[in-house]
């Protein structure tokens, strides 16, 4: 059986695969994560997921390599990771009482084949104005797109979601698992 390699250092992606009992190793390379702004948002993200997986695929050409990237998209703008508390506050204040979309693109190399897809989930926040400072004190916002982690304390921000919560966390793991099962069934 081929090894499965997660081409990402994201602790959340690692936790999602572990939760599903998937046996894998982590090996990620650092790449330039600048997106091609001439492409539509989903295509940009798919290209980035592919770019993350490709060097690892070259290292393990016979194995299964999973690359992924997640963005928060609000009012036609990508909301990245906040650089500091002030930026995190501004981001969360913007998202308060609004809907935003989270996209996670996944690129899976298996031998000579490449499967790329992009899942999206709409997240509706309540008015969180009075909760923001307490949340920022927790420092849970650090290193997260949109300055929040839906699986932690920020779950209190959410009025509802339309789509897969795992997409928001960073990997639509059921979609990935389905692909891995199809590979297993064919071998």
Task: Give me the active site residues, please.
Answer: 69
Q: How many CB atoms lie within 10 A of CB 153?
A: 16
Separation of alpha carbons 73 and 113, rounded Å: 29
Separation of alpha carbons 158 and 53, rounded Å: 31
Pairing verdict, β 4-6 and 25-26: parallel
| Residue 31 CA from chain centroid, whole number | 16
- Residues 144, 119, 42, 4, CA torsion sign: positive
Residue count of the chain, please give it. 187
């Amino acid at each position: 059986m081929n090894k499965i390699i997660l081409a990402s250092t994201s602790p959340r992606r690692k936790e999602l695969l572990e939760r599903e009992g998937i046996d894998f190793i982590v090996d990620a390379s650092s790449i330039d994560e600048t997106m091609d702004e001439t492409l539509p948002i989903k295509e940009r993200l798919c290209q980035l997921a592919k770019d993350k997986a490709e060097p690892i695929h070259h290292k393990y050409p016979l194995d299964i390599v999973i690359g992924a990237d997640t963005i928060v998209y609000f009012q036609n703008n990508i909301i990245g990771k906040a650089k500091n508390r002030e930026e995190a506050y501004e981001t969360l204040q913007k998202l308060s009482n609004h809907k935003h979309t989270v996209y996670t693109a996944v690129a899976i190399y298996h031998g000579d084949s490449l499967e790329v897809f992009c899942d999206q989930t709409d997240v509706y926040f309540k008015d969180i104005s009075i909760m923001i400072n307490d949340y920022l004190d927790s420092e849970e916002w650090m290193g997260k797109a949109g300055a929040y982690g839906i699986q932690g304390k920020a779950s209190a921000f959410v009025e509802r979601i339309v789509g897969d919560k795992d997409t928001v966390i960073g990997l639509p793991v059921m979609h990935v698992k389905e692909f891995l099962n199809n590979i297993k069934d064919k071998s």
